[in-house]
Amino acid sequence: MKKHSSAANFQSFSFSDAISSAIKQMGFKKPTDIQLKTIPAVLKGRDVLARADTGSGKTAAFALPILEKLSNQNINIHTQLDPCKRFKAGERVASNCVQVLVLVPTRELSIQVAEVFTQLAAGISPEIKCESVYGGVKINPQMKALRGGADILVTTPGRLLDLVDQNAIKFNQIKALVVDEVDRLMKGDFLEEIERIIKLLPNKRQNLMFTATFPESINKLVREVMNEPEIINMDEFVDELEIEQRAIIVNHHQKNDLLAHLLQENDWQQVLIFCSAKRTCDNLLIKLGKRNIEAAAMHSNLVQAKRNAALKAFKNGEIRILIATDVASRGIDIEQLACVINYDLPRSPNDYTHRIGRTGRAGEKGHAISLIAHHEYQHFSVIEKFNGINLDREEIEGFEVDEIAPALPRKSPKVKKPRLSKKQKLKKATREQSTSSEVDEQNISPKEEEKLGVNAHIWGTRT
């Protein structure tokens, strides 16, 4: 998405041989703008607050200088720093301790960032240990992996606090904190978790924060955590996004047909489709399947193994279409992702930025299409205003919108389940367990009783 500076090269950073070799092996040719601005500041020990779009190379922007500081192969860089800002890379971490803590909002992003660290650190000696921990999987293997400590820990906030509650992690050796996608982490349930984590960390550390937007919600964290940060806003260094954005209006009941039409008529090698709900993802998967359009779904209701498998198959090109909720908008990094389609609009204007940022990466041309029904017109206008865009409303032949909005389907009312105390839950579980091997005769319908036939007497006689 970001353009490279023609006069820049990685040699200007004087990286160690191991880091320079890893850069070549990963195919990095020239540093991106965010890397040019961020790497020198991190190497100097400065706190950094950077705004950069997804696909700008920001993961390498913090991973490269952190690994350089952890490496003891280029000690000249460290001697220029104050003692409190040196990583002292020659010292190994103690059991259950970490030196660098990286917080991310999703499991997929945790895996992705850890992979980048591991690949860039491949040639460093002694070995740099990087671990990725996240929820949705068993915690015991993660606790075991941390017993020997880790130089770098990439984690989601919830699972990190699970480890804290299990006394499986200590923070006394932390030298740096990285908060990636800080705009996402400073809202909702994440906010309370981040505030609790910050209180557990030592005061003397380097702080690096990266965000795609600058919402007011991050101001408090910046004031409380960062020490005279160097603020880098990449809006100042880029002319325009390499993404063609389109807004197509359609009747809500024709979205499926229009989507299938677009997928069949365009030669997109890979397409990422965003839905607002997990149920919508599953339903859309079935409906596309009936049209012989193969796809895979990824959302939080799926076990982590299935999510990983779907993402891996999509990255490897084994499947052309991935249908996902916003859980994927921050965890997919595919350089040549041709198109992103918003089947449903995102709830937040910020999420629109992250969604379309999955395409048009690494300077490639990208396409972002939003399918907009009558009831979404106003919401898309809010998204446009927030992101400073103004898109023409398109209509596709054969799918023209009605002047009067068709009635939306009625939603089934949600049945509110009564809240139970821990004591009540325990009693319920005990009661269900004690009766699991028995059949309640009051629950046998006449039809079921008839099916039982000659063996009906085994279940008791209905009065």
Match 């964290």 to its residue by tokens. 221
3-state secondary structure of 373: coil
Evaluate if residue 285 carries a pLDDT over 90: yes
Cα distances (Å, whole numbers) of residue 435 to 418, 422, 431, 439, 443: 22, 20, 6, 8, 13
| Token pair for 435 | 């009766």
Cα-only R_g, the chain: 26
List pLDDT tens digits, range 191-211: 889 999 999 999 999 999 998
Residue 406 pLDDT:
87
Residue 235 pLDDT:
59
Contacts of 361 (CB under 8 A, 6+ apart): 1, 54, 55, 333, 334, 335, 336, 337
| pLDDT, greater one: 410 or 273 | 273
List pLDDT tens digits, range 211-262: 877 777 788 888 888 998 999 986 544 334 578 999 999 999 999 999 999 9
As a whole number of angstroms, the distance between CA 135 and CA 133 comes to 7
Residue 439 pLDDT:
37
Bridge partners of 322? Answer: 272, 296
3-state secondary structure of 8: coil
C-beta separation of 341 from 369 below 8 A: yes
- Any idea what the Cα angle at residue 136 is, between residues 135 and 138, rounded to 5°? 85
| Token pair for 463 | 């009065």
Q: What percent of the chain has pLDDT over 70?
A: 78
| Token pair for 436 | 């699991």
Contacts of 93 (CB under 8 A, 6+ apart): 99, 129, 149, 150, 151, 173
| Token pair for 320 | 């052309």
Match 């984690």 to its residue by tokens. 155
In the sheet with 243-249, reading across from the earlier edge strand, the strands are 296-298, 321-324, 271-274, 339-342, 366-372, 243-249, 393-394
- Residue ranges of domains in the chain, CATH in brackets: 10-237 (3.40.50.300), 243-394 (3.40.50.300)
- Any idea what the Cα angle at residue 108 is, between residues 302 and 343, rounded to 5°? 65
Model-level pTM greater than 0.85?
A: no
As a whole number of angstroms, the distance between CA 306 and CA 292 comes to 22
Angle between the 58-70 and 107-120 helix axes, to the nearest 10 degrees? 50
Q: What percent of the chain has pLDDT over 90?
A: 48
